[in-house]
Chains A and B, each alone.
Chain A
Amino acid sequence: MNTPSRSLSIRRIVVALDCSPHSRASLDAAAAIAKAINAELSGIYVEDINLLRIADLPCDWQTESSSAKERQLDPLQVERSLRMQAKEASRMLGKAAMELNLTHTFRTLRGLVSAELLNAALDSDLLVLGRAGKTPVCRRTLGTTAKKAITEGQMNVLLMRKGFSLAGPLLVLFDGSEGSETALRTAQALSAERSVIHVLLLANSPSSAAVLRKKAEAVTEVPDKRLEFHEIP
């Protein structure tokens, strides 16, 4: 797949890795995008400072989820566990990058997860992270980091969850703005060759929808058979 000349300009993709299933999906998606648009992949693992601090606190305030029993957190064990996770995250990234022949870097940071991540992503064009991380089980909504990245982040954010794939079909909201044109070009670049790209035209009348459609078709320059246009009646 060639890099489209006027698509979203992404040179560096930061992917947050914490070894959770969601972050595995994030890595796959980030690697696929990086391959598609020939970008650099940068993996970040943040050692949660809060966890280290709890281990340092003098009381045993941990409850084990397998037995519901209390147990003192051992600071050394927490350190060791974080190092192991960082190592695993680095290995995962290395493997994915090697398979797709990508340029990649890996960094381990320490601090508050969301702050460190957003900070580290400042110099990148896209931040890919799991919809929810390893914070308490069975969350139905977005994780704290994800929430923060969307509300406070300055960069493009892609939230992934386990079981989702970038191969398509993709949906592009098209309102004729410059941003939506970039979105459409990016979708074309990312989507698999035979996968459908659904383009939802945000128009309030059939006539304006027709105008938008023309505009969208103009964006693609050569007719793209994968595009399927939809409008809200």
Chain B
Amino acid sequence: MSLPSPLTSKQIINRCDPSSFSFRTTEELGATTTIAGQERAVQAIEFSIGMKRDGFNLFALGPSGTGKQTAIEDYLHKRSAGEAVPDDWCYVYNFEKPRQPLGLSMPPGRGCELAKDMDKLVEGLFSVIPAAFSSEEYQEQEKAIKEELQGRQSSALEEIEKKAADHDIAVIRTPSGFAFAPVRKGEVLKSEEFMRLKPEEREKIEREIAGLKESMQAMMMQIPKWQRESQEKFKELNQQVAGFAIKPLLGEIASRYNALEPVQTYLERVEQDIIDNFEQFLQKDDEMQEMLPFQASSAFRGRKSHAFHRYRINVLVDNSSTEGAPVIFEDKPSCQNLLGDIEHMSQMGTLVTDFTLIKAGALHKANGGYLVLDARRLLMEPLAWEALKKAIRTRQIRIESLAQLYSLVSTISLEPEPQPLDIKVVLLGERQLYYLLSAYDPDFGELFKVAADFDDDMQRDETSHMAYASMIAAMVSGAGLRHLDAAAVARVIEFGSRSAGDATRLSTHLQNLSDLLHEADFLAGENNTGIVSRSHIDRALEARRMRAGRIPEKIRKAMIDNTILIDTDAEVTGQINGLAVSSPGGHMFGHPSRITARIKMGKGEVVDIEREVEMGGPIHSKGVMILSGFLGGRFGIDRPLSLSATLVFEQSYSGVEGDSASSAELYALLSALSGLPLRQWLAVTGSVNQHGEVQAIGGVNEKIEGFFDLCSQRGLNGRQGVLIPAANVRNLMLRDEVIDAIDKDQFHIYPVTHIDEGIELLTGVEAGKPDENGNWSPGSVNARIVKQLENMAEKQKEFRESAGNGNDQTQQDT
């Protein structure tokens, strides 16, 4: 078998050539490209926004920092600029049902106009109505009605008095009514005088008085009716006067809103209400003078503000200065912030509200346009998600107070007329949220039919290099940073590839990129240079590594001090340096980890100590079980595997996950079985399948660099290196130090495709090939293993036989 050659420096990094760029600095590039490599997502956005049908709302999914919000907002702003400005939305007093304020929709800007007109109207009414009611004509008419009533009453009474006087009977007022009594010369008869009268005279008087009483009673019964009639006349007069006085004021307003039918209807109701309640505008000065100054002012204010309130317009959405359709990003998508709220005022210790205290929510503001929300924040707000879905489904915004809904407060509540909703909602969120919502919320698929899936990376080629450069230029211009020269751009592109973990792709994680540009700009500023050059980018990256380097450095120091045992020099049987990656706080780094294997006689099982103590994850356990499969398939067909192997990650205290160490474990096992020592100066990564093929793993760059750093600290000697899966060669984007060492032949990277290649590199002994009878080439690793297994099987057989005889004897004894 031909062994894989170590990789050359060209194979371990995909350099970006600055000379391939047509610009010298990013300043020459336009600052228009804000996003690149997201064609799939952009198409989805265009489709969703263009689709004017229910439910075609958008969910933009992707890791945070991939430019979802930037892309969406850019697109929406461009598109919305050419769209119609939506109408204003106002709430007005409902004269029939005051607890259900009415909604008024009118062309943009007209809402505020109407509100101002109504305020002026109320101001005007305070002068027009008192003037009308203090006019001489009104006073005369009022007096006439009063006198008519008085006349009716007194003439009726005078008639009775006259009738009584004719019979010498007087009508006298008593504390509670009227009494009739016989009089002589103006004086009421004394009791004894009356008793002295002849019986027939007394009877006559009594008869006459009885008749008079009847007349008096009949008259008294009439009085309430006369009073009612007078009241009616008063009312009619007042309404006529008030109606006549306010007509010109209201007519003037109505003429300005001729084409708006709902406004006309509203104004008609206002007119009728003012006529019905004209008294509130009659504030008499003398009434005020009787009060103390503070009472007068507060009473006047109270009455005036009450009148103001009733006829006010609550302009919930004012689109007078909006250009195009609104694009609203609600940063705190709570239920109240989305649907609006009904606020309360404290009045004499109680909470009261009215239609002027209705507050607009993001849905109101975005109605007729677009609403962008962060899905995670939305889901974290109690009831907000349900409220949003309900609004989209029912196509109306119904303001409901949460406190009222849950009976937390018990005050007067309002039910404002729901506003019709025509909106496109865009949710931004991580992929997992999208998948969870799709799986568990049956409404989700119906309401958010379009997904814009933002990719983590994009294809790397000449075109994408330019797109990346343009994106950098836009970021730099947008944030007011120093521009980059071509070499710096090339370095950023290489960083993009490294971030993507693939030499043929570029990361689309814009946040990370933007952070790097800011850091480089800071360093350029410290150097007093106007342009960010490659060295600034390098230094920024180095500084970043330095800042996050405490843990890897400590681990490395422990290895140098032999606190953590990592041998990089000797050859040891059943022991190998595997490579692991950790990412505390999001910063990924690699380091070697010693893996050992021991064998004993057994039933062919491989014991994963990590799993036994529950420190290994399921994928790791799966990897170890695959080893059993490989061993069984290769060596257990002709003979039983009479071994029991134990595998362990030495000095690991925090658990292991992933199958990237499975090839290293297999090498350790093969070494233990064959008795051949492994070269400790080579570290290994890669997973393995049951056929012994080495498969790709993640974090290859960090793993190589982790081992390189240790070797480099101990001193590079030209032997050290790393075995990686050949499939991972395309992922290599290594640091300059590693590249230098490879160029100088001080460090090696071997791309391995099969376990046999690896074991040969690690032991220096040929892996061997089976002949037509299945026998491995003599002296090879596999032949040694077969021999060892046969020995073990033989020994086990002997042991069983001797143990079996002993058992028989025992049975016989008993």
Contacts and interface: CB of A to CB of B under 8 A. Distances in A.
Interface in B174-209: 174-181, 183, 186-191, 194-195, 206, 209
B216 interface: yes
B463 interface: no
B177 A136 contact: no
A46 to B, nearest CB: 14
Contact of B188 (A53, A66, A135): A53
Contacts of A140: 147, 150-151, 154
Interface string A131-153: 00011111110000000000000
A222 interface: no
Contact of A63 (B153, B161, B179, B187): B179
Contacts of B213: 61, 63, 70
Interface in B133-179: 147, 150-151, 153-154, 157, 161, 170-179
Interface residues of A, number: 31
Contact of A59 (B187, B209, B221): B209
Contact of A136 (B150, B151, B161, B206): B161
B150 to A, nearest CB: 5
Of listed A53, A63, A136, residue having the most chain B CB within 10 A: A63
A139 B154 CA distance: 6
B177 A56 contact: no
Nearest to B192: A56
B443 to A, nearest CB: 69
Contacts of A77: 175
A50 B174 CA distance: 10
B220 A58 contact: no
B179 A54 contact: yes
B188 A49 contact: yes
Contact of B189 (A57, A64, A65, A73): A57
A81 interface: yes
B174 A73 contact: yes
A141 B48 CA distance: 89
Interface residues of B, number: 35
B217 interface: yes
Nearest to A136: B157
Nearest to B149: A138
A137 B151 CA distance: 11
A112 to B, nearest CB: 6
B152 to A, nearest CB: 9
A48 B186 CA distance: 12
Contacts of A135: 172-173
A227 B174 CA distance: 46
Given A58-B194, A66-B177, A137-B157, A112 B172 contact: no
B174 A51 contact: yes
Contacts of B221: 68
Given A68-B220, A136-B171, A138-B154, A53 B177 contact: no
B147 to A, nearest CB: 8
Interface in B316-370: none
Of listed B153, B173, B190, residue having the most chain A CB within 10 A: B173
B177 A61 contact: no
A205 B33 CA distance: 105
Enumerate the 9 nearest inter-chain pairs by beta-carbon distance, A residue then B residue, closest first.
Answer: A68-B220, A56-B191, A64-B177, A53-B188, A62-B179, A50-B188, A65-B177, A54-B181, A81-B175
Interface of B: 147, 150-151, 153-154, 157, 161, 170-181, 183, 186-191, 194-195, 206, 209, 213, 216-217, 220-221
Given A57-B188, A73-B179, A136-B154, 15 more contacts: A50-B170, A51-B172, A51-B179, A53-B191, A63-B179, A63-B213, A63-B216, A64-B176, A68-B221, A71-B176, A78-B175, A112-B187, A136-B161, A138-B154, A140-B154
22 contacts: A50-B187, A51-B174, A51-B179, A53-B188, A54-B172, A54-B188, A57-B189, A57-B191, A59-B206, A62-B176, A62-B177, A63-B179, A63-B216, A65-B220, A68-B216, A70-B213, A71-B176, A73-B179, A112-B186, A136-B173, A138-B154, A140-B151
